[in-house]
Amino acid sequence: MALLLAFSSSITSASASPKSTAAAGAVKSVKAELSNFEKGLFTHPPTTPSPAVKKKENIWVVEWLGATTSSTVPVAAIQAADKALGWKTTVYDAKGLPSNYVTGVNEAIANGANGIILIAIDCSYVEGPLKQAKAAHIAVTAIYGFDCNQWGGGPSLYSAAISFGHRIKGGAVGLWNDWGRASADYIIQATNGRPVTLMLDSYQLSVFKFYYDGFLSRMNACKTCTVIKVPWDISTEFTGTAVAGLITAAYTAHPNINSSLLGTTVDNGFSQGIHDLGPAALKKMKVIGGLGLPSEFALIRNQQALTATTAWPQQWIGFAAVDSINSYLAHRPLQDEGIGFQVLDTNNKKDWPAPGKYFTGVANYAQLYKKRWGV
């Protein structure tokens, strides 16, 4: 019997060794890249003088869903930037309905907009009206949305697209791929190279497509990584109850799940769904998601459903959109706005914002822009 047990043990040890080696190799393969993401991919706003256009410009913001923090924070920053420039701001809430995207852009054009800022709306949804805007020399830019030549196969219609210069390979698409890769890198390291990752699978918006493209490019190259894809229809399953239900069902079917991710704010039911899995699941779960909002840092701080976040400087992004419009209207070349993200967890708490405060990336971003504009 002892001999049999010893023989059995030797087989287990020998068979586990290659897998352990592969897992260790997976962790090693992400180490350098993850370190770069943990330092942050942002730099600083442009410092070359770009005097404000003197006339009172009429700026319209067309947002996908005004009830989301990922809209309200940049919108408030846009309003603050416009106020500093002496510009008028009108906000149109499409309430998540694609038919309203077109209505919002059409209303902006009809009301004499000089600039249009889309939030979480892809060019492909409003290609017709944006062609009219381009013909009328209206400045158009977007936050969390992609141009028609990036998503949809049409022409480029974002005349004042936020620039990443030569800093980010592939521009906005490349940055979103990096976001997904950063999430994969974190999960691989946090699970010691053996993740079984729950992924809410939706390619209905470009922001998810490019994010997941980056994530899967890294996970598919990992021999010890498993991805559990859960179909997610954001047009019918974006409510908190629906999202939480998808997570519960997935974990029930795959109780070996030990990680998850989400490339948007997690207060849409995602964090609640993770939390509802219970103490045993939470103890092993490594979860990265969100945009670095105060509520998300609170979840990490309190060890509730989130272990890391990909922090984006929401307010800086709003100022960057306005700066891009100012450059276009003044017939100046667009400059790298310095925007990027940073992976933050308990290992780099020195870079966290104070409780209740927003992650800014660069603390004096607003002053730098106002100096650039001469206001």
CA distance 233 to 237: 5
* Cβ–Cβ under 8 Å, residues 293 and 265: yes
Catalogue all structural domains in the chain, each as residue range(s) with its CATH number: 24-41+171-311 (3.40.50.2300), 58-167+313-340 (3.40.50.2300)
CA distance 295 to 266: 9
CA distance 331 to 261: 41
Residue 14 has a pLDDT of 42
Q: Which two tokens stand for residue 341?
A: 């993200």
Handedness of CA 342, 344, 347, 351 (dihedral sign): positive
* Cβ–Cβ under 8 Å, residues 263 and 179: yes
Picking from 8, 84, 371, 30, the residue whose alpha carbon sits closest to that of residue 225 is 30
Q: Which two tokens stand for residue 240?
A: 């908190």
Q: What is the pTM of this model?
A: 0.93
Residue 16 has a pLDDT of 54
Residue 94 has a pLDDT of 97
For 311: left if phi > 0, alpha if psi spans -120 to 50, otherwise beta; the answer is: beta
Separation in Å, CA 193 to CA 28, 138, 189, 226:
9, 49, 6, 10
Residue 17 has a pLDDT of 60
Residue pLDDT tens, the chain, 375 long:
333 333 233 333 344 567 889 999 999 999 999 999 999 999 999 999 999 998 899 999 999 999 888 899 999 999 999 999 999 999 999 998 999 999 999 999 999 999 999 999 999 999 999 999 999 999 999 999 999 999 878 999 999 999 999 999 999 999 999 999 999 999 999 999 999 999 999 988 899 999 999 999 999 999 999 999 999 998 889 889 999 999 999 999 999 999 999 999 998 899 999 999 999 999 999 999 999 999 999 999 999 999 999 999 999 999 999 999 999 999 999 999 999 999 999 999 999 999 999 999 999 999 999 999 999
